[in-house]
Structure 1
Amino acid sequence: MRKILAEERSAQVRCVVQEKFWERAQEIVSALPVRDRERVTLLEGDVASMDMGLSGKEHVALAQEVQVIHHCAAATYLGVARDVAQRVNVDGVREVLELAREAKKLERLVHWSSALVSGGRRGYVLEDELQAPEGFRNVVEEMRFKGEQLVRAAMQRGLRTTILRPAILVGDSVTGEIDRFEGPYLLVLLMLSSPVDLRVPLPGRGDVPLNLVPIDYVVDAGWAIANDARSVGRTFHLVDPTPQSARRVFELIAQAAGRPLPRGFLPTNLATALLRTPGLERFAHVPRAFLEQLATEVVYDDRGARELLDPKGIKCPGFESYVDVMVSYVRAQQSAKRQRRPDSFEIEGEDEASDPLQ
């Protein structure tokens, strides 16, 4: 939203927001400069409900005026229940496509998918492929795959669409800001919660690439691609073209956290127990899925994305350039949380982290 407001000075933005996030959405909009605030309208709804949970009047008005749809809503929390993942990642896509079909002025649907739609596939994954021959490692991947299938079918029927597939998202490379701690942040939390002199072994062998992308790069790259006429009818991987290995990521996190470098490794089936340290028990069902990502050797082709982004000078920063910021942000959030609740190791945004609809 902030990117669109900054780059498109005449754009009017409509945001569909769930009731439980209404207060937070108002806070975000209220923090905008007045000239931007006046261009944003919040609509209370739910992407997975009929007509996206809007009143008939609101839905009709939206269909009459919308020109570009950015579909970002998705259940990404790896511990989400199957029925919730189905509802948000598949049924929600159907509702967005219904709006797109009714929107007479629509110029573009931008579907924010995920590189993880390839599931457990190993090897080289092309941007224009949608295959998961090795199956899915979790229900999130499976339902996002099915959601993208629906979008591709609509695209083949003539809907002007651009599909964007970010790799594993981490926080802003400049500020460290992130909305919830999951995935790679489990490694940061593990380091920060371990004794200072403990050499934490690496979960898994760590010899496969771990493709991480900061949210500011994803937003800049996605916006640039979505506004390029050449991107209609195509799919793009938003990835790090030279990702670090999982072991190197772990070492960089250890250095940034002021901990000894990892010694040895634990097989994936044993590493889950390692993550059951104080404060991390609530994630006990999540590490297994994340550790499977650490053990899957996959390379995402991004030649199409580079074709459009290189001339604009938009490049993914290397993990080593922002790992210190990432760890510092986590440390600050944990410190603030402990000051409010001294006996708790809970993370900032815990409720949102466990909420599959965030």
Structure 2
Amino acid sequence: MNILITGATGFLGTQLVQTLTNEQHHVYLLVRNRQKLDALYKTLPSDKHDLVHVVEGNLLDDQLGVSQDDLHVLTDTIDVMYHTAAYLSFDEDERDRVFDINLEGTKRALNVAKLINAQTFIHVSTAYTLGEATTGYETLHPTDANFVNTYEESKCYAEHAVMNEQDKLNVMIVRPAIIIGDSETGEADTTFGLYGILRTVYLLKKRAARRADSPVYRLLIEQDTVSNLVPVNFVINVLHAALHHGQPGTIYHATNPNPPTNGEIFAAIREGLDFNQVNIVSYDEQENLTDEELRLNQPLEVFKQYLNRSILFDRTNVTSLLKAANKVDLTMDHAMLLRIVHGFLNETS
């Protein structure tokens, strides 16, 4: 197949390119940053480089900034378009930019897909378009929900824009939960989510080593709440399965069927970082924290809604998809969490 990808030089996109070129698909990459493109090439065997075709463009521009010559090349050539590009920011001050990239950028990508006569459009969203609800279904969520942040809201609106094109394109939506590193190697190229917590604990270990006493630091994270972590290679499995077995008009939750509790995650963090001088306590204990601990917790405040709320995700569609593709579902255990922590350490050291 000939496959056009936005966001191909990102954490998820790079692994998607690796998977698709391993299957001998030709991939056309919408690229704005040439430096990141060089890094992507280094992840591919030299005999796969001929399968990669660069299309200069920008999600912020009309027709994605693609030249007329490149549009001519793409027309009646592209079979499938993966739209993985997005702007991940929870900053309300960046609301206009978040919506311009995540909503308007998706509309521009859809218009290009129609313009070049692509048959299928696979949109990568987020499992957290459900607002403050605690159950997520594999259906569109209302755009008038109470959203946790601007990012979630923009992605919800984008999903509606995608589904509005069902009469012109075979559209599908894949909703990953909190993406972490590779389940086997632990390798990751992200600083978000779990990695913000890992970095906090890592810095606490360094701070404790410089002190004569042996303080025990407290972080405000609910012990029994589950965090829906999904390894990047599992998300790629779902995206790959959608390419060959996905059903038009369907939403797939790339979520963890048995997500770990924060207590289980922290057990792996303590062991993996070899640092036991940190505990997680309920937000009810916030008033008992020292001034130093309050300052240490400030970087985690942005994740409060994710660390304090267990969400049940319906996985009916994705379970059927993985079965049709003969792919194994995700099983996350302590050993896998340790590999993720060790992967962080390898990247940090």
TM-score range, shorter chain: 0.7 to 0.9
- Deviation of residue 320 (structure 1)? 2.0
Q: Which secondary structure state, in structure 1, belongs to the residue aligned with residue 21 of structure 2? A: helix
Give the whole-Å Cα distance in 1 for the aligned partners of 2:80 and 2:311. 32
Give the whole-Å Cα distance in 1 for the aligned partners of 2:219 and 2:122. 38
Contact 2:123 2:172 in 1 (8 A): yes
What letter corresponds to residue 312 of structure 2 in structure 1? V
Contact 1:177 1:329 in 2 (8 A): yes
> How big is each residue's C-alpha offset from its partner over 1:137-186, in whole Å with a ceiling of 9 and x where there is no partner?
1111111111111001112x342011100100011112222222121112
**1:343 maps to which residue?**
none
Contact 1:163 1:235 in 2 (8 A): yes
Contact 2:185 2:339 in 1 (8 A): yes
5 Å-filtered alignment, 1:1-358, equals 1-7=17-23, 9=24, 11-18=25-32, 21-79=33-91, 81-104=94-117, 106-122=118-134, 124-131=135-142, 135-155=146-166, 157-194=167-204, 195=208, 198-228=215-245, 230-260=246-276, 262-263=278-279, 265-267=281-283, 270=286, 274=293, 276-277=295-296, 287-310=300-323, 312-335=326-349
In structure 2, relative to structure 1, the CA distance for the partners of 1:67 and 1:313 (3 Å cut) is closer
- Deviation of residue 263 (structure 1)? 3.9
Give the whole-Å Cα distance in 2 for the aligned partners of 1:219 and 1:183. 18
Contact 1:162 1:226 in 2 (8 A): no
What letter corresponds to residue 147 of structure 2 in structure 1? F
- Deviation of residue 48 (structure 1)? 2.2
**1:348 maps to which residue?**
none
In structure 2, relative to structure 1, the CA distance for the partners of 1:320 and 1:198 (3 Å cut) is farther
**1:349 maps to which residue?**
none
Q: Which secondary structure state, in structure 2, belongs to the residue aligned with residue 146 of structure 1? A: helix
Contact 1:199 1:259 in 2 (8 A): no
Share of identical aligned residues, percent? 22
In structure 2, relative to structure 1, the CA distance for the partners of 1:98 and 1:325 (3 Å cut) is same
Query: When the two structures are superposed, what TM-score results if normalisation uses the length of structure 2?
Result: 0.84
Give the whole-Å Cα distance in 1 for the aligned partners of 2:48 and 2:329. 27
Contact 2:175 2:253 in 1 (8 A): yes
Give the whole-Å Cα distance in 2 for the aligned partners of 1:97 and 1:305. 23
Give the whole-Å Cα distance in 2 for the aligned partners of 1:326 and 1:198. 26
Give the whole-Å Cα distance in 2 for the aligned partners of 1:17 and 1:120. 35
- Deviation of residue 222 (structure 1)? 1.6
Q: Which secondary structure state, in structure 1, belongs to the residue aligned with residue 251 of structure 2? A: strand
In structure 2, relative to structure 1, the CA distance for the partners of 1:33 and 1:132 (3 Å cut) is same
In structure 2, relative to structure 1, the CA distance for the partners of 1:181 and 1:264 (3 Å cut) is closer
In structure 2, relative to structure 1, the CA distance for the partners of 1:199 and 1:235 (3 Å cut) is same
- Deviation of residue 291 (structure 1)? 1.5
In structure 2, relative to structure 1, the CA distance for the partners of 1:212 and 1:31 (3 Å cut) is closer
Give the whole-Å Cα distance in 1 for the aligned partners of 2:163 and 2:338. 39
Q: Does 57-66 or 301-310 show the bigger shift? A: 57-66
- Deviation of residue 118 (structure 1)? 1.2
**Aligned-residue CA RMSD (Å):** 2.5
Query: When the two structures are superposed, what TM-score results if normalisation uses the length of structure 1?
Result: 0.82
In structure 2, relative to structure 1, the CA distance for the partners of 1:247 and 1:134 (3 Å cut) is farther
What letter corresponds to residue 186 of structure 1 in structure 2? G
Give the whole-Å Cα distance in 2 for the aligned partners of 1:148 and 1:206. 32
In structure 2, relative to structure 1, the CA distance for the partners of 1:300 and 1:54 (3 Å cut) is same
For structure 1, which runs of at least 5 residues remain unmatched after alignment? 336-358
Give the whole-Å Cα distance in 2 for the aligned partners of 1:171 and 1:37. 24
Q: Does 263-272 or 291-300 show the bigger shift? A: 263-272
Contact 1:121 1:133 in 2 (8 A): no
Contact 1:174 1:322 in 2 (8 A): yes
Give the whole-Å Cα distance in 1 for the aligned partners of 2:308 and 2:281. 12
Give the whole-Å Cα distance in 1 for the aligned partners of 2:284 and 2:169. 43
What letter corresponds to residue 35 of structure 1 in structure 2? D
What letter corresponds to residue 171 of structure 1 in structure 2? G
Contact 2:268 2:341 in 1 (8 A): no
Give the whole-Å Cα distance in 1 for the aligned partners of 2:271 and 2:90. 27
- Deviation of residue 213 (structure 1)? 0.1
Contact 1:251 1:261 in 2 (8 A): no
- Deviation of residue 26 (structure 1)? 2.3
Contact 1:30 1:37 in 2 (8 A): no
